[in-house]
């Protein structure tokens, strides 16, 4: 389980409590159950100490989506005598802080069993094996998948059958009280699928007590209403979902001006228009017989003649649903030779923002398998034992000075979905615009991506953002701004690490940036770490400036397996060994609200990763120094703050692997996942030999 789930719980509980109170006080809409309100209030106490503030509807939606992921790791069970029991007898209610601690524990691939009863949370102290190993990354709704993803034909058929069969199995139960819309059906990335989303295990998002019933007649099982084209809303909703899946397009958006009857009938009109196209279903199936079976199965769901019959009972409608819809889809899957291994899909990115002119970028990049592997690469660091220890360290040492990182780039977009989380907002401690003195903004998107990447890997560091260019074309005029930003970050803000994802073939005659770097380093006795992108020009150029400066750590880009990409600058075989880290198909935050994440490649995107890993190393040294209390450990920390000390640590066996004669691949997975005692030995060794 990712350590960031507690952050999600804290934020989501605020939103959930707000939603619950609003619903309870409103004359419109449904009223949440007392259990939900009580539970939201209890979790709300976890967020004590966080700033109270209004939460936008957009953020409430995102928080609830993240909170839904928490529910997947939990399962309620009840003894036959209706007494709540744990593995050690009758369970007592769990206090809010205990619930917080429960989320912080590492449980492995299990579902920890809890129960919510009468507004109280009970830890049943038992667990069973998870059916799937889930990756700690955001869930994806069916609507998002249809808008943003290239779903394979096998995936469409498996998904269609899974939703149809589940509708049949749960028809007439309380589970169907939640409308199974494109936003409610969600997918989670699973281990073994290289971070892909799989249609094999769709989830339905609902409230804790499973009572998410929306007001209005459309939520009843049978509605023989005047002017309504279909009287079995749940079966019609299934048909509309199937049309959408087979068309690879999202359902029409519901206009707030429509009443429930208008929305229902307009949806039916859209389905009819879509299916009238002879190319539907959009599947590469040549057999006209199989295509006809798919069409007839979906038409049955949408047909008033099949299900608009008053004499049918729920059980009879359920049996008809299996006969006319579920079984035909099952037959098509068997005959068409559908394979589960071809069913996964990955997010597709169409936007291609531009790097500064000194750095090439993969334009029009698809998030292919390498993006999924890159996501897993980053996720391992995010959920590592070290990040868990860092979180705990700052929890019990609330006054301790945090490691500070400065990002010098095109700024950042505060409206990006990545920054909707309040804990992330709180980590951004400083902003300075050296372009035009504006509030936080990013006209290019490059800085937003770079910042989000650093914050993912080092989520507990304090961040300072300096906007030094408007976009890629402005970097050639930015040298003096960059020098000012270096002085601001190091002297005024006191940062430990400076990340610079830009460069030029040579330094200009003014040497203003060099002077700023040298002055900052001298004034701090060398205890400040500079990182810069080496170059994306391949073998035609050596390292560009400022990466080529003696006080700066030049960073190259590798794949998630450690291969150095051809766009890297070659090593100087008469000079020092060079470092590279993940910089190919790196997933980061986007300015586009419709595509909140994008994949980019280049040394620009490897640089913040190296800077963030350096922050983790410094935090590990802090933890060691406090635990040991010896002067030697303080000296270790101070040495690692220097370029020489950090380079020695980066070349340690647990941090890097030699890929060729002069090139080393930085992957801190082994170091970050090791025990504190092991980390201590390696930190001391690096500092001693620096």
Distance CA(606)–CA(321), nearest Å, equals 53
Q: List the beta bridge partners of residue 663.
A: 578
Q: Where are the beta strands (DSSP E) in 80-134?
A: 85-86, 89-90, 110-117, 120-129
Nearest one of 360, 377, 76, 376 to 206, comparing CA atoms = 76
pLDDT of residue 639: 96
Q: Which tokens belong to 639?
A: 């040495």
Q: Are 200 and 157 within 8 A, CB to CB?
A: no
Cα separation values, 291 from 59, 390, 598, 613, Å: 42, 56, 35, 53
Question: Residues of CATH 3.40.50.200 domain(s) within the chain?
Answer: 376-613
Compute CA 400 distance to the chain's CA centroid, rounded to the nearest angstrom.
Answer: 28
Distance CA(583)–CA(609), nearest Å, equals 8
Q: Are strands 586-589 and 663-666 parallel, antiparallel or unpaired?
A: unpaired
Contacts of 575 (CB under 8 A, 6+ apart): none
Q: Are 151 and 112 within 8 A, CB to CB?
A: no
Cα separation values, 330 from 95, 320, 335, 338, Å: 47, 15, 9, 10
Distance CA(280)–CA(48), nearest Å, equals 54
Q: Are strands 656-658 and 462-467 parallel, antiparallel or unpaired?
A: unpaired
Query: Which residue positions in the chain have pLDDT lower than 70?
Result: 1-108, 116-121, 135-138, 148-150, 191-200, 206-221, 225, 248-260, 339-370, 540, 629-633
pLDDT of residue 349: 36
For residue 688, give the H/E element and its range: helix 676-688
> Can 563 be counted among the known catalytic residues?
no
The residue from 112, 161, 359, 446 that is catalytic is: 446
For residue 14, give the H/E element and its range: helix 5-25
Q: Are 177 and 210 within 8 A, CB to CB?
A: yes
Nearest one of 633, 652, 663 to 690, comparing CA atoms = 652
Render pLDDT for 360-394 as a digit per residue (tens, 0 to 9): 444 334 445 667 789 889 989 998 999 999 999 99
Render pLDDT for 399-408 as a digit per residue (tens, 0 to 9): 999 999 999 9
> Can 446 be counted among the known catalytic residues?
yes
Distance CA(411)–CA(447), nearest Å, equals 5
Nearest one of 374, 376, 366 to 346, comparing CA atoms = 366
Question: Residues of CATH 1.10.510 domain(s) within the chain?
Answer: 135-348
Number of Cβ within 10 Å of residue 259's Cβ equals 8
For residue 240, give the H/E element and its range: helix 233-247
Distance CA(220)–CA(564), nearest Å, equals 59
Q: List the beta bridge partners of residue 536.
A: none
pLDDT of residue 206: 64
Q: Are 559 and 565 within 8 A, CB to CB?
A: yes
pLDDT of residue 266: 81
Burial of residue 277 (CB within 10 Å: 0-12, 13-18, 19+) is: exposed
The residue from 13, 560, 590, 604 that is catalytic is: 604
Q: List the beta bridge partners of residue 110.
A: 129
Concatenated DSSP letters of 530-565: EEEE--SSGGG--PPBTTTSTTEEEEEEE-TT-PBP
- From the options 3.30.365.10, 1.25.40.20, 3.40.50.200, 3.20.20.20, give the CATH code of 376-613: 3.40.50.200
> Can 604 be counted among the known catalytic residues?
yes
Nearest one of 498, 515, 540, 139 to 347, comparing CA atoms = 139
Class of domain 135-348: mainly alpha
The residue from 154, 409, 496, 585 that is catalytic is: 409
Q: Are 470 and 438 within 8 A, CB to CB?
A: no
């Amino acid at each position: 389980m990712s350590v960031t789930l507690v952050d999600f719980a804290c934020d989501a509980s605020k939103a959930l409590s707000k939603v619950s109170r609003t619903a309870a006080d409103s004359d419109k809409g449904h009223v949440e159950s007392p259990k939900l309100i009580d539970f939201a209030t209890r979790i709300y106490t976890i967020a004590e100490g966080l700033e109270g503030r209004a939460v936008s509807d957009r953020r409430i939606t995102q928080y609830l989506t993240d909170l839904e992921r928490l529910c997947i790791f939990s399962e309620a069970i009840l003894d036959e005598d209706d007494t709540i029991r744990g593995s050690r007898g009758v369970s007592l209610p769990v206090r809010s802080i205990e619930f917080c601690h429960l989320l912080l524990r590492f449980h492995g691939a299990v579902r920890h069993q809890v129960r919510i009863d009468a507004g109280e949370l009970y830890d049943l102290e038992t667990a069973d094996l998870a059916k799937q190993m889930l990756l700690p990354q955001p869930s994806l709704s069916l609507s998002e998948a249809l808008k943003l993803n290239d779903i394979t034909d096998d995936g469409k058929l498996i998904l269609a059958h899974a939703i149809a069969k589940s509708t049949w199995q749960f028809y007439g139960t309380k589970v169907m009280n939640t409308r199974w819309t494109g936003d409610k059906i969600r997918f989670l990335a699973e281990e073994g699928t290289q971070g892909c989303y799989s249609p094999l295990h769709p989830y339905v998002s609902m409230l804790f007590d499973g009572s998410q019933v929306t007001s209005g007649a459309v939520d009843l099982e049978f509605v023989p209403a005047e002017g309504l084209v279909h009287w079995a809303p749940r079966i019609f909703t299934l048909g509309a979902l199937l049309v959408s899946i087979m068309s690879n397009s999202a359902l029409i958006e519901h206009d707030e001006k429509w009443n429930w009857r208008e929305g229902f009938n307009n949806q039916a009109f859209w389905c009819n228009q879509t299916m009238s196209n002879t190319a539907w279903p959009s599947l590469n199936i040549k057999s006209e017989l199989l295509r006809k079976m798919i069409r007839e199965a979906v038409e049955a769901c949408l047909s008033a003649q099949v299900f608009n019959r008053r004499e049918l009972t729920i059980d009879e409608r359920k049996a008809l649903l299996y006969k006319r819809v579920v079984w035909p889809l099952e037959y098509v899957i068997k005959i068409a030779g559908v394979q589960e291994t071809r069913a996964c899909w990955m997010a597709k990115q169409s936007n291609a923002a531009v790097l500064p002119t000194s750095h090439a970028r993969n334009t029009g990049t698809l998030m292919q398998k390498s993006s999924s592997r890159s996501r897993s690469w980053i996720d391992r660091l995010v959920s590592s034992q070290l990040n868990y220890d860092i979180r705990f360290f700052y929890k019990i040492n609330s006054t301790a000075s945090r490691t500070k990182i400065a990002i010098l780039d095109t700024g950042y977009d505060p409206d990006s979905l990545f920054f909707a989380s309040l804990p992330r907002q709180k980590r951004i401690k400083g902003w300075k615009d050296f372009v035009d003195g504006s509030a936080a903004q990013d006209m290019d998107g490059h800085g937003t991506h770079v910042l989000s990447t650093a914050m993912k890997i080092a989520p507990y560091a304090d961040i300072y953002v300096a906007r030094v260019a408007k976009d890629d074309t402005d970097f050639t005029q930015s040298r003096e701004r960059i020098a000012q930003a270096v002085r601001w970050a190091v002297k005024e803000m006191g940062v430990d690490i400076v990340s610079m994802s830009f460069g030029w073939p040579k330094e200009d005659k003014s040497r203003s940036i060099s002077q700023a770097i040298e002055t900052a380093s001298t004034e701090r006795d060398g205890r400040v770490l500079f990182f810069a992108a080496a170059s994306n020009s391949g073998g035609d150029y050596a390292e560009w400036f400022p990466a080529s400066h003696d006080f700066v750590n030049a960073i190259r880009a590798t794949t998630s397996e450690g291969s150095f990409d051809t766009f890297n600058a070659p090593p100087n075989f008469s000079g020092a060994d060079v470092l590279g880290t993940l910089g190919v198909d790196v997933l980061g935050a986007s300015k586009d609200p419709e595509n909140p994440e994008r994949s980019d490649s280049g040394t620009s995107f490897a640089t913040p990763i190296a800077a963030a890993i350096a922050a983790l190393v410094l935090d590990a040294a802090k933890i060691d120094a406090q635990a040991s209390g010896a002067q030697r450990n303080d000296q270790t920390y101070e040495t690692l703050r220097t370029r020489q000390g950090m380079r020695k640590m980066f070349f340690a066996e647990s941090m890097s692997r030699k890929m060729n004669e002069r090139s080393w691949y930085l992957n801190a997975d082994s170091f970050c996942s090791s025990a504190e005692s092991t980390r201590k030995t390696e930190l001391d060794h690096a500092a001693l030999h620096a």
